[in-house]
């Protein structure tokens, strides 16, 4: 591998950070789409120069940008995210029915094999797919029209479909997660779906172990172990060993199990990273200290990683899509903060250094290992 490219979405634009394999000296390119919210930038595993970006804003709505040269130039592609068929209703914050209303795309997940196929997760929650490089989008309606849909309710951040995992082994299997509906799985390429929330317990909903209604913040999977899923829930870090059939809590000795991102080491399927924050009412790291927590046992036992991270007067958060790992031999771990810092560890979390310190609030971080 010759280097890495880190794709950063922020409240005010996108940035592309590149370095060679040592990951010490960084080139910072951006902002792209300055002034716009960029919820996510992601790359095609099948073509490293094919990037997709979700660009949105309160004034002018949603755009999707595509790059065919690794982020040097961009072209706006399709932005028609229409709900197909009967729009239907979900629950609003006050418990009354409310029609689905498109607001933005939170997450873009390119196919592992086809650069022109990409999935998009929307708010209000819906899953879309494009097979022509983002020009046209079709909703996979089986998810939104699931019989539980009328009982879905937004979390504080909106009713967003924020996680899409394309199973690399089981043909046609897709996982998604929605705040605050929960996790869902399809085994037929997105045509039909079932909730996979058994074992989740959420004290914030009337029936704590309901089939839907859980505020799942993020799912993660190691591609070599596709039946093992990790979850950062509103509160609780969870694990499933059977593709979401059953979950068990692995928060163990974490100082707090509230958080947003969760990631798995590129080469060690039992090594997991989270960034605990204080609580649901205090969205910043505990004790003014920024610490990533790593478990090398698939959960339950966690160690604090703090070398190179601020250990006083730090009150940032790390959002759900703002952590990523690279696939270099020494696995790199990256995350971005609401304070605009992007940190890199080139030794699997043992030590950290900032790549940049003063970007706008970071919404998402992805990384590519470049050939």
Partner 1 sequence: MIRVVLPAHLKNLARVYGEVEVDVAGEVTQRRVLDALEESYPMLRGTLRDRSTGRRRSFVRFYACEEDLSNDSPDAPLPAPVAAGHEPLLIVGAMAGG
- Contact residues for partner 1 (CB under 8 A)? 35-36, 57-63, 76, 79-83, 102
Shortest CB 69 distance to partner 1, Å? 17
**Nearest residue (CB) to partner 1, 56 versus 240:** 56
Shortest CB 178 distance to partner 1, Å? 20
Shortest CB 31 distance to partner 1, Å? 11
DSSP classification of residue 35: T
Report the 3 state secondary structure along 334-349: EEECCCCCEEEECCCC
**Nearest residue (CB) to partner 1, 61 versus 172:** 61
Q: 111: number of CA atoms within 13 Å, CB side?
A: 16
Shortest CB 158 distance to partner 1, Å? 16
Shortest CB 260 distance to partner 1, Å? 22
Instruction: Report the alpha-carbon distance of residue 106 to residue 363 in Å, rounded.
Output: 9
Instruction: Report the alpha-carbon distance of residue 108 to residue 125 in Å, rounded.
Output: 13
Instruction: Report the alpha-carbon distance of residue 180 to residue 192 in Å, rounded.
Output: 20
Contact in structure between 13 and 34 (CB atoms under 8 Å): yes
Q: Is the peptide bond before 37 cis (omega within 30 degrees of 0)?
A: no
**Nearest residue (CB) to partner 1, 32 versus 40:** 32
**Nearest residue (CB) to partner 1, 59 versus 95:** 59
The sign one gets for the Cα dihedral 183, 187, 192, 194 is: negative
**Nearest residue (CB) to partner 1, 80 versus 301:** 80
Instruction: Report the alpha-carbon distance of residue 228 to residue 59 in Å, rounded.
Output: 41
**Nearest residue (CB) to partner 1, 41 versus 219:** 41
Q: How far apart are the first and last CA of the chain?
A: 5
**Nearest residue (CB) to partner 1, 63 versus 285:** 63
Shortest CB 136 distance to partner 1, Å? 12
Instruction: Report the alpha-carbon distance of residue 285 to residue 274 in Å, rounded.
Output: 12
Shortest CB 117 distance to partner 1, Å? 22
Sheet bearing 75-76, strands edge to edge: 37-44, 47-57, 61-67, 75-76
**Nearest residue (CB) to partner 1, 63 versus 342:** 63
| Closest C-alpha to 145, from 104, 89, 213 | 89
Strand locations in 68-210, DSSP E? 75-76, 89-91, 97-99, 104-110, 118-123, 126-130, 138-139, 160-166, 174-179, 182-186, 194-195
**Nearest residue (CB) to partner 1, 81 versus 247:** 81
Distances (CA, A) of 17 to 157, 294, 342: 27, 25, 10
Shortest CB 71 distance to partner 1, Å? 17
Shortest CB 241 distance to partner 1, Å? 41
């Amino acid at each position: 591998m010759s280097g890495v490219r880190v794709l950063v979405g922020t409240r005010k634009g996108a940035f592309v950070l590149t370095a060679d394999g040592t990951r010490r000296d960084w080139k910072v390119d951006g902002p792209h789409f300055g002034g716009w919210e960029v919820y996510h930038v992601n790359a095609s595993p099948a073509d490293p120069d094919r990037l997709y970006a979700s660009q949105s804003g309160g004034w002018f709505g949603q755009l999707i940008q595509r790059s065919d040269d690794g982020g040097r130039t961009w072209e706006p592609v399709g932005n028609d995210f229409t709900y197909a068929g009967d729009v239907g209703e979900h629950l609003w914050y006050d418990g009354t029915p409310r029609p689905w209303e498109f607001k933005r795309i939170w997450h873009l997940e390119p196919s592992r094999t086809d650069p022109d196929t990409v999935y998009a997760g929307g708010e209000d929650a819906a899953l879309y797919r494009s097979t022509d490089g983002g020009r046209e989008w079709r909703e996979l309606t089986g998810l939104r029209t699931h019989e539980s849909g009328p009982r879905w309710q937004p979390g504080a951040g909106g009713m967003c479909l924020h996680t899409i995992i394309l199973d690399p082994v089981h043909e046609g299997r897709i996982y998604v997660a929605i705040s605050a509906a929960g996790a869902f799985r399809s085994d037929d390429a997105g045509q039909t779906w079932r909730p996979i929330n058994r074992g989740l317990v959420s004290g914030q909903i009337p029936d704590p172990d309901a089939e839907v209604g859980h505020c799942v913040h993020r799912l993660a999977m190691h591609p070599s172990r596709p039946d093992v899923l990790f979850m950062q829930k509103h509160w609780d870090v969870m694990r499933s060993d059977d593709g979401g059939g059953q979950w068990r809590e692995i928060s163990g000795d974490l100082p707090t199990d509230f958080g947003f991102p969760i990631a798995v080491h590129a080469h060690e399927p039992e090594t997991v990273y989270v960034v605990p924050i204080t609580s649901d009412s205090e969205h910043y790291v505990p004790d003014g200290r920024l610490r990533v927590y790593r478990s090398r046992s698939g959960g339950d036992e966690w160690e604090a990683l703090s070398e190179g991270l601020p250990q006083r007067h730090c009150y940032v958060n790390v959002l759900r899509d703002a952590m990523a790992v690279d696939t270099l031999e020494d696995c790199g771990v990256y995350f971005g903060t609401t304070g605009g810092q992007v940190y890199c560890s080139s030794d699997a979390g043992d030590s950290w250094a900032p790549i940049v310190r003063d970007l706008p609030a970071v919404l998402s971080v992805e990384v590519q290992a470049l050939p």
